Structure formats: C-alpha cells, structure tokens
Amino acid sequence: MAPATIWLLAMLVLPLVVVLVFSFGERAAAGGYSAAVTLENFANLGARWTAFQNTLMLAPLGTVLCLLIAYPLAYYLAVKSDPKWRTLLLILVIVPFWTSILIRSYAWIFLLGGQGIPKLVSLIGYGSPRLINTPFAVLTGIVYGYLPLMVFPIYVSLERLDKRLLEASADLGSPPWRSFLQVTLPLSMPGVATGCMLVFILLMGEFLIPAMLGGGKVFFVGNALVDLFLQSRNWPFGAAVAVALVLIMLVTVTLYMRFTRRWAGGRDDVSLM
Amino acid sequence: MTNRNDFISRERFMAELMRYRKGSVTRRHFLGVTGLGAATAVLGSAMPGLRSAAWAQGNIGDRVVLATWPNYHDPANFEAFKAATGAAVDMNVFGSNEEMLAKLQAGGSGWDVFVPTNYTITTYVGEDLIEPLDMARIPNYDPASFNERFAGPGTVDGKVYAVSKNWGTTGFAVNTSQLGGKPKPTTWKEFWDLTQAEFSGRTMVHDYQLTTIGNALKYYGYSFNSIDANELAEAEKLLMAAKPHLFAISSDYQPSMRSGDAWMTICWTGDGKQMNRDMPEIEYVLGKEGGELWSDFYAIPKGAPHMDAAYALINFLLDPAVNAKEALFHGYPTADKRVDALLPPEVLNDPILYPAAELLDALEFGAAVTLTDPNRAELMARFKSA
C-alpha cells in the first residue's frame, strides 16, 4: 500500500469506523462505552433536535454574513487599495489569528456584556439591549472569528483577475457596475465557493463560540457532542450524534458542490475538493 | 541588644569554616556551632510547608498539574510553592465532577493532583482511576485533627484515597439591590419562581447536574439526590420552563454577577463569600428546604506523571498555615482544627462559612449514585440542548 493510503486509513477511515461501531453500543454503568448492537442511540436523536436546528440555521447564516462582509473587503484589498499598502493591510487581516480564539471570544463577552456595548447604547438613550448569551452574540462571534477564512480565497481569485478583461468590457461600452456583474463577479466565484465551503464546514462543527457567547443557551451540535462525551459520558449516543452530523455534512457538501459546479459552468477549480 | 552570647565572632566563624572544609568537623557540627543550622530552621519555619518536608532535598521537577474548581486557591500560595520547590503549578479549572470523571475515563489527562467531591470517590476507586495515598509522604495530614464527617469519605474500604481540602454548602447568591423592595428569597421555591418572574433573564444555574437538578428537585421538596423517574420528570419540567428565563448555564458565575449582568445564581460557599466581601449587596442564601452539603478532597489520579510533585503539593497545601491562608482567600472552611485555630474569630463566626445548625441540618451530602445515574446525566444534557 502506498504511504498515502495507509495514512488515510489510519487517520480518517479508522476513527470513523470506531465512531460508527460505538454508535451501536451502550453506555457503560459509570459512563463510557460498552459493546452492544442497538439502534436505540439513533432512535434518540430527536432529543438533540434543537441543537441540529440551531446549527443548521446559524451555520449557513453565519456563512452568508461572512460572505457579505468579506467580499467588499477582499475587493477593496485586491482591486482598490494602493499596492504600496496592500501587504500591510493583508497582514492586518491575519493579525487576529495570532491570538487564540478563546481569548478573543472572551473579549467579546465583555464587549457584549452589560458593561460593554449595551451600556454605551443606554448612555445615548436607546434603552439597554440584551446582547450577551443570545443567538445574536453567537452570530457576531462566528462572523468575527471566521471572516479571514472568507476574505483570503476571494482576495486570491480577485487578485488573479486579468485586468484586460475589464478594459475590453469598458471598450465595448459597458458601465463599471455592469462589468462588475458580468466579468468580475463570475470570475471571482471560485474564491467565493471555496470561502463559503471552508467557513460552512468549520461552522457546522463549532462549539467554542456558542459555549462562550451563548452562555450555554445557544447550543450547537458541537456543544451537544462535548456534553455527551465530557459530561454525561454517553459515548454511544455521542457517536450516534456524530454519525448523524457527518451524514448531514456529506449530503450538504455534495449538493453544494454539484450546485456550484453547474453554476460556474462546469469548471473544476471551483472548490477545494 | 543585650545577650550577644549566641553570636559567633567573625574570626571564629572563619576558623570553623576552615575546619569544616578540611573535613575535621562534620557538617552538622559546623551548622550547629555557627548558628547557620538554627537560621535555616528559623527561615524554614517562617516558610510554612518547608518544614519536615521529605521532598525538600529531592528534585520534584519543574511542574505539577492540578485539576480543581474555579476561585479555589490563593495564587500567592502557588508562588510560594514554586519558590520553595521549583515546581510551577499548572491549574486546570472544571465546572462539574462529571467533567473531571470524563477526562480521567478518557485517559491521558496528565493531571498530578485533582479535587474530587465526597460522593465521587467510591466511583473513582471502583473504576480504578485513583491512587491510594502513601500517608508517610503527607506528614502535614493529621487525621486526628480533621472532622470525620467531612474527611471520612476520603477513605474507602480502610484505604485512604483522598485527603480533606475544604467543605461547604451549595446555596444561591442574590443581588439584593435588584429586588426592588421585595423581601430576600430564602427558599429554592422562591429562587425558581423569581427566576421565571421579576428576575427573568438574570439568573444563572450551574453547568452541573448534581446541583442544578438537585435544587430543582428541592422546589418540590424531594431529595436533592433523587433518581426516581417521576420526581426527575417533574424537575425536568421545571428546568425546561425556567430555561428561557435563565441568563446562562455556567459554573463560572462570578464575572457575570459582579458586572451586574446576572442578579442571582446557584452558588458555592466561597464564591458567595468572595462576592459578598467585595459587594455586600450580593448575599448568600441557603434554601430553607435544604440542598447540598459537600466536602472536597485532594487526590492523585492513577498514572500521575509527576508523582513526587503531587505529594509535595498536597503536603504543602495541608500545612495549617498555608491552608489558613487559602481559607482566608477563597472563603471555604476546612475540616482541620489546626487551621481553625489560626483563623480570626470574625471568620469563624461568619454565617456564610459556618451556617446556623438548623440550616445545615436540612442539607444532604451528594450520593454516589447521582454521578453515574444515566437518567440524571441525560436529563442535564437534554436541558442544556433544549
């Protein structure tokens, strides 16, 4: 067997097989796994419906918000900014990555807490809105945390764009907004598709930001998994939830790839995969 | 400035030093005659925890990993331990005994010392996750000076697995300035009712099945430890009804209480004391129906990577002088008479630390079965994911 095959088997296939086997087992008396063959864990999946629902709503919403903020930013960086400053600006986008997401999320706890933004809002007389431990807080944290992952693929595809195409478009009498819609936007689609995929996949498994900014009240599937393995120690049920999540991801990502491929005219460089 | 007889002249000191270096006197003679031995002893006793310490000569490594609870140690004591032994204390904080058990069950925790609560120790012994203690290496632990009620659960089948750290209660803390003139709640019934009314969006509960489910059971007057299916179903109904009104589900509630985001929380003795010390309007209440009485322990997990440092740290922290400093810092009483003797009377008379007997009588120790009961575990997980 080629080394790559062995690596793939050991690091990807084997753990998945373990998870699958566990998902048919039973919780041991003091917690953990005890061998059995039962479908009960899958029958109980409904008990985590809210977690799936939250994830399936907030992950796509977070991805779309990331895209809406990242595209203008990437466009500015790649097209409008002074090349002299471009590298510096790009570094500024990366800088937050130098600090742990844990610490940056903690900063948001204070920003969104009663002594933070709500206090400022109340000072200018608009009441004291409740921000922390709400879906809004989680969404804010998500968009903040994952924005760079969306900016970079889009930046790369915009930067590679052949400027002569825009000149040709202008020569043929197209106004700038039309050139953007008919030339720039379609040609940056590979970057958009890659960025969305990156952010969406990671968001589906997110647990840290909901735990910190959701106060244990905005629960993702990731949180349900942490809970099942690290608190209630029901490994088989946890494995079943994990299997369900993997299946949902497989279906969503496959559909997404089909869709984006057709959308981009059958080009193969659309996605990472 | 009177008696200078015990001083040694410069000349005599040099002479003795030369004799010592030539090997004509022993080290013991040299230290004795020059007074350096006494000086070392005095310095040693001024540095509590260094005395009579078998490990003082040995190298215990540069690190010891401690798994413990939030706001449960005086950082100054860890600094002193590092200064004395060279081992830095690497602290991991947990929100529930379940979380600790899960880490140990999964293996490879890397912990040297952990802090289990009374009712969990039999399970750790049963699962073979805990090291029986070599009491000779913890000379600061004197069983006779500890209150058996709190220290007893550390011994299982005649073997000591864990030594007493602190004991305390689980009540609730309430910011009385937010009550708007209403009387202070004194029962768990009022706690949950207030949560769903005036305090909506302002209450926190532990991310911990024992206390959160236990005190929901108390609403109906059931045992804190109940595993009865019908009683748990009622508790679940209450928890689900209260959930939309909660500020958060977290065992680290001090930041939110102090910032004013949260007004009421399920609370442990020491957190109640720490908050009350800085903000007197935050008061600590023991629900009249009862609730939890607990005691925590120091223990060593099986396969601890720095075993010497683990014993050294436990022994250091059980030195009455160190332990008293801990207690003054975190506000949890100890079960050690020697520590009580060092505490000022206002601490010993503090109603938060030492509640009135009739309030204590209503409390229950957690029962071992609650740690492993699958229904309680799943109820908590369902409540959180709802």
CATH number where B260 lies: 3.40.190.10
Q: Which residues of B touch A234 (CB under 8 A)?
A: 374, 377-378, 381
B258/B126 same-domain check: no
Secondary-structure percent of chain A, ordered helix, strand, coil, rounded to 5: 75, 0, 25
Q: Are B204 and B250 in contact (CB under 8 A)?
A: yes
pLDDT at B41: 46
- pLDDT at position B188: 97
Domain membership flag for residue A273: no
How many Å is the Cα radius of gyration of chain B?
25
Indicate whether B32 belongs to any domain: yes
Q: Please check whether residue A114 touches B, CB under 8 A.
A: yes
Question: What DSSP assignment string belongs to B211-266?
Answer: HHHHHHHHHTT--TT---HHHHHHHHHHHHHHGGGEEEE-S--HHHHHHTS-SEEE
- Is A272 inside a domain boundary? no
| Interface contact B261, partner A, CB < 8 A | yes
Is position A130 within any domain? yes
Lowest mean per-residue pLDDT among A178-192, B130-144, B233-247: A178-192
Option in B103, B201, B386 nearest A130 (CB): B201
In this structure, are residues B291 and B192 in contact, taking their beta carbons and an 8 Å threshold?
no
B367 and B274 together in one domain:
yes
Q: Return d(Cα B366, Cα B293) in angstroms, integer.
A: 7
What does DSSP assign to residue B301?
B
Q: Are A145 and A106 in contact (CB under 8 A)?
A: no
| Residue A123, CA distances (Å) to A120, A127, A129, A203, B180 in order | 5, 8, 12, 35, 22
Contacts of B358 (CB under 8 A, 6+ apart): none
Q: Touching check for A190 and chain B: CB below 8 Å?
A: no
Same domain, B140 and B277: no
In whole numbers, what is the pLDDT of chain B averaged over residues? Answer: 89
ipTM for the predicted complex:
0.86
Flag whether pLDDT at A3 surpasses 90: no
Higher-confidence position of B195 and B16: B195
Model confidence at B75, in pLDDT bands (50, 70, 90)? very high
Domain that holds residue B27: 10-39
What pLDDT was estimated at residue B21?
60
Confidence of residue B386 (pLDDT cuts 50, 70, 90): confident
Alpha helices in chain B (DSSP H): 10-22, 27-34, 36-46, 75-85, 97-106, 121-126, 148-151, 188-195, 209-219, 229-242, 254-259, 269-278, 307-318, 320-330, 337-340, 345-348, 357-361, 368-372, 374-385
Round to the nearest angstrom and report the end-to-end CA distance of chain B: 75
Q: Is B233 left (phi over 0), alpha (psi -120 to 50) or beta?
A: alpha
Residue B44 predicted with pLDDT over 50: no
Chain A positions in Cβ-Cβ contact with residue B246 (cut-off 8 Å) = 215, 217
Per-residue confidence (pLDDT) for residue B16, from 0 to 100: 63
| Number of domains comprising chain A | 1
Q: Model confidence at A261, in pLDDT bands (50, 70, 90)? A: confident
Q: Do B259 and A231 touch (CB under 8 A)?
A: no
Could B382 and A233 be called an inter-chain contact, meaning their C-beta atoms sit closer than 8 Å? Answer: no
- Are residues A30 and B243, on separate chains, in Cβ contact within 8 Å? no
Q: How many CB atoms lie within 10 A of CB A225?
A: 20
Q: Kindly state whether residue B56 falls inside one of the protein's structural domains.
A: no
- In a domain, residue B58? The reply is no
Contact criterion met (CB < 8 Å) for B247 and A215: yes
Domain limits for position A231: 3-263
Distance from B138 to chain A by nearest Cα, in Å? 30
Q: Which residue of A has its CA nearest to B246?
A: A217
CB contact B123 to A (< 8 Å)? yes
Question: Is residue A236 assigned to a domain?
Answer: yes
Is the pLDDT reported for residue B51 higher than 70? no
Residue A29: closest C-alpha in chain B: B372
B108 close to A (CB below 8 A): no
The answer to whether A135 faces chain B, any CB pair under 8 Å, is no
B143 CB-contact burial (10 Å; exposed 0-12 / middle 13-18 / buried 19+): middle
- Residues of B with CB below 8 A from A228's CB? 381
Under the banding of pLDDT at 50, 70 and 90, the label for residue A259 is confident
Query: Three-state SS for B58?
Result: coil
Q: Where are the alpha helices (DSSP H) in B117-182?
A: 121-126, 148-151
What are the start-end ranges of the E strands in B102-161?
Answer: 113-114, 155-156, 159-160
* Amino acid of residue A15: P
Lowest mean pLDDT among A105-119, B23-37, B42-56: B42-56
Query: Is the residue at B259 inside a domain?
Result: yes
Residue B57 or B175, more confident = B175
Average pLDDT, chain A: 90
Residue A269 placed within a domain: no
Do B20 and B144 lie in one domain? The reply is: no
Q: Is B53 among the domain residues?
A: no
Q: Residue B244: pLDDT above 80? A: yes
Q: Which of B201, B249, B372 sits opposite A216 (nearest CB)?
A: B249
Asked if residue B149 belongs to a domain, the reply is yes
**The tokens of B67 are what?**
């798994």
- The reply to whether B261 and B174 lie within a common domain is yes
Is residue A270, in this structure, part of any structural domain at all? no
Residues B142 and B190 in one domain: no
Does B382 contact A at CB distance below 8 Å?
yes
Q: Answer whether A224 sits within 8 Å of B381, measured CB to CB.
A: yes
Q: What is the pLDDT of residue B27?
A: 57
Question: CB within 8 A of B386, min separation 6: which ones?
Answer: A50, A219, B240, B243
Residues in B touching A56 (Cβ below 8 Å):
none
Q: What is the pLDDT of residue B97?
A: 95
Chain B residues near residue A237 by CB distance under 8 angstroms? 378
Residue A207 lies in a domain: yes
Q: What is the pLDDT of residue A30?
A: 85
B16 and chain A in contact, CB less than 8 A: no
Mean pLDDT, residues B374-380: 93
Higher pLDDT, A114 or A52: A52
Tens digit of pLDDT for each residue in A158-215?
998 888 999 999 999 999 999 999 999 999 999 999 999 999 999 999 999 999 999 8
Write down the pLDDT at residue B1.
39
Q: Are residues B248 and B370 in the same domain?
A: yes
Same domain for B366 and B273:
yes
Same domain, B190 and B336: no
CA-nearest residue to B379 within chain A is A232
pLDDT value of residue B19: 63
Please report whether residue A209 resides in a domain.
Answer: yes
Quick check: helix, strand or coil at residue A185? helix
B5 inside domain: no
Query: Does residue A233 sit at the B interface (CB-CB below 8 Å)?
Result: yes
Asked whether residue B377 falls in the same domain as residue B268, the answer is: yes
Residue pair A190/A263 in contact (Cβ under 8 Å)? The answer is no
pLDDT at B76 over 60: yes
B143 falls within a domain: yes
**What CATH number did the domain enclosing A166 receive?**
1.10.3720.10
Q: Chain B residue closest to A48 (CA)?
A: B385
Q: Tell me the pLDDT band of B131, cut-offs 50, 70 and 90.
A: very high
pLDDT digits (tens, 9 = 90+) for A91-109: 999 888 888 888 999 899 9
Per-residue pLDDT for B17 more than 90? no
Do B77 and B112 share a domain, yes or no? Answer: yes
Q: Give the closest-approach CA distance of B57 to chain A in angstroms.
A: 39
Question: Do residues B193 and B330 share a domain?
Answer: no
Domain count, chain B: 3
| Residue B34: pLDDT band with limits 50, 70, 90 | low
Residue range A44-90, pLDDT digits in tens: 999 999 999 999 999 999 999 999 999 999 999 999 998 899 999 99
